[in-house]
Amino acid sequence: MKVSLGAKTLAQPAPVWIVGSYDEHGNPNAMTAAWGGICCSKPPCLAVSLREERHTYASILARKAFTVSVPSVKYAPQADYFGIASGRDVNKFAVTGLTPVRSEVVDAPYVGEFPLILECVLVRTVELGMHVQFIGEILDVKADEDVLGPGGYPDAARVQPLIFTPVNRAYHTVGEYAGQAFSLGLGYREDHPAASRAAKA
């Protein structure tokens, strides 16, 4: 029996993204954001939602660009710190010992030690309520070679991305391989041999 939990942000999991930007003084800054995801395939775009009081908010509007650095689970403490400290008060890169790298594609920095980077130009903002959604067109993706799978794309088991469960405020990472997308469910299609055999049995 299901229990009603009310109108809450309980979709699971949420990403742990480190959103990078330059502030009004040109200093590299980054913040942790969980309200985000891919929102368009062509052009390739992602969306991340921020509150207006965040230091990063004005920086993205001013520079029209941002990066998303995806931390692996071994960087969980640093990723958490990026979400609990403000760039108005401290240099988060200096405190954590992580490296701000200037993007060659957009006017924003990314975290050099993190295995997967998406470099975005701001194309739209959408006011939602408490949050404003920033939609960025992905101009380039950078990945460490050792996290690439046989097809040349990032492999989740190698990236070991940090993920977040809202409300209970817990970090996790990805679990075991469950199957291949767009293949695992083919047996339910009427035109698939496996489904035809099951119907005749």
Ordered by start, the domain boundaries in the chain are 14-191
pLDDT per position as a tens digit, 118-154: 999 999 999 999 999 999 999 999 999 999 998 999 9
The reported pTM is 0.92
Please write down the HEC assignment for all residues of 49-100.
EEECCCHHHHHHHHHCEEEEEECEHHHHHHHHHHHHCCCCCCCHHHHHCCCE
Question: For 62, phi and psi rounded to 5 degrees?
Answer: -70, -40
- 146 φ/ψ sector (left φ>0, alpha ψ -120 to 50, else beta): alpha
Please give the pLDDT value at position 200: 53
Enumerate residue ranges in the chain where pLDDT < 70. Answer: 192-201
Class of domain 14-191: mainly beta
